[in-house]
Amino acid sequence: MNVRSTAVIAGVCCLFAREVRAQSAAPAQEQVPARASEAPATGGGDEERRAAARQRFLRGVELIRAGQWSEAIAELEAARDLRATPPVHYNLALAQRAVGRYRASVASLRAFLRTVSSTADPALISQAEQLLQDSSSAVCRLEVSVEPITARVRIDGAPIELGAGAIELDPGEHTVTAVADGFANGERRVRLSRGSNSVASLTLVRTNELSYLRVESNVTESLIRIDGREVGHGTIDEIVRAGRHTVDVLGPHHRPFTREIQSFVGQRQVIRASLADRRTIFDSPWFYVVTGVVVAAGVTTAIILWPAPPPLRGTLGDATAP
């Protein structure tokens, strides 16, 4: 962990310590929570909940310092469920950011800024605002288009409502599925980069018009399109409507591959796209390795096979020129 993160955690720990001292100086029933939903339990179990929350919080901070982010999230979420406080929200946001859960980090930072005391360190509040801005800019937005529009759609297993606008997601790979009566199920895997705005389009095929298409590329990161629609990377299995289709495969530093195909009902077709490297041989690092081997071999051959000059004959016998 870098010095900046350590300083932030230390500041939050100090904030937590001040809060603990304030709570111990006042009766539990006089504490006013930031939100009614965050109110601690009253009665005899209240002190136990506070102690348990404090223990989980401190354990979470230790795990953050050790770089064990997922474990830290589990401890801090448990602390939040027991008693949500600004330090818990803040440290939870740090751990969520570290594992790429930017949407959750945004929620935690907003909760921190909403509940933190006005007497808190201004530098800490400023830091939280900067982190909130950065995390918000990392969130991706995915627009989903499906035919028929009556299809039931899910992203990573969670149902979504079509026509409700772009869906906010974390960077990474996500799976969009669509189901409709009388149609084959559709699936699309999408890769979202930090802060990107993307579109996933699925056109479901009626069960009496099905044709199966598999596209395999020799370049893992190559982008595959069918009829102009992005359908995946590297290797994909797609259900298409019987008829004519255009398959395009695009790989970085490779010549594009295009193939016109005709598919029939019930047919299973495999397209193997072998992309050629469009860099010249001089651009490839292998050129220098191979060239070096050839030169070395040539030198060795020259030493071994260079013909010896004919012997010089004279009255003193045979001699060989140096």
CA angle 303, 306, 310 (to 5 degrees): 135
Q: What is the pLDDT of residues 208-255, one digit of tens each?
A: 888 999 999 999 999 999 999 888 899 999 989 889 999 999 998 899
- The domains of the chain are located at 3-138, 140-273, 281-319
CATH superfamily of 140-273: Immunoglobulins (2.60.40.10)
254-277 average pLDDT score: 91
Tokens at 301, concatenated: 């051959």
pLDDT of residue 320: 37
Question: Whole-angstrom Cα distance, residue 242 to residue 277?
Answer: 32
Phi-psi region of 317 (alpha: psi -120 to 50; beta: other; left: phi over 0): left
State how far the alpha carbon of 286 is from the alpha carbons of 275, 280, 289, 290, 310, in Å: 18, 11, 5, 6, 41
The H or E element that residue 314 is part of is: strand 312-314
Look at residues 96, 88, 151 and name the one whose alpha carbon lies nearest to residue 116: 88
Does the global pTM surpass 0.75?
Answer: no
CB–CB of 265/211 below 8 Å?
yes
Are the folds of 3-138 and 140-273 the same?
A: no
pLDDT at 316 over 80: no
The H or E element that residue 88 is part of is: helix 86-98
Question: Whole-angstrom Cα distance, residue 62 to residue 169?
Answer: 29
CB–CB of 94/8 below 8 Å?
yes
Q: What is the pLDDT of residues 103-159, one digit of tens each?
A: 999 999 999 999 998 888 999 999 999 999 999 999 999 999 999 999 999 999 999
Look at residues 98, 110, 165 and name the one whose alpha carbon lies nearest to residue 138: 98
Q: Write down the CATH number for the domain with range 3-138.
A: 1.25.40.10
